[in-house]
Amino acid sequence: MFSIFKSNPLKKLNQRYAVKLEQAMHAQRKGDIRAYSMLTAEAEQIENQIKAVELTNKSGS
C-alpha cells in the first residue's frame, strides 16, 4: 500500500556513481592522479553494487 514511499536504492547508487565519476574527472583535470585513481576505484565499487542490485531485481521478478 505504501510502496510509493519506499526509497529506490538503485537511483541513489546511480547518483553516487555519477558524482564519483565527476569528482574523478575534476581530479584528473587538476593533475591529481592519485585522487583520480582512488575516486575511480570507488566508482567501480559502486558500479559493482549497482550490478548486484539489478541482478537481484531481475531474479526476484
pLDDT, tens only, 26-47: 999 999 999 999 999 999 999 9
pLDDT, tens only, 1-19: 566 667 788 999 999 999 9
Task: Give yes or no for residue 61 having a pLDDT over 70.
Answer: no
Q: Does residue 19 fall inside a structural domain?
A: yes
CA-to-CA dists, residue 34 to 14, 17, 28, angstroms: 24, 19, 9
Q: Does residue 2 fall inside a structural domain?
A: no
Q: Does residue 22 fall inside a structural domain?
A: yes
Q: What does the alpha-carbon distance between residue 37 and residue 9 come to, in Å, rounded to a whole number?
A: 25
- Domain range holding 35? 9-60
Q: Does residue 4 fall inside a structural domain?
A: no
Q: Does residue 3 fall inside a structural domain?
A: no
For residue 22, give the C-alpha cell.
565527476
* pTM given for the model: 0.83
Q: What does the alpha-carbon distance between residue 44 and residue 16 come to, in Å, rounded to a whole number?
A: 11
Q: What does the alpha-carbon distance between residue 59 and residue 61 come to, in Å, rounded to a whole number?
A: 6
What is the predicted pLDDT for the residue at 3?
63
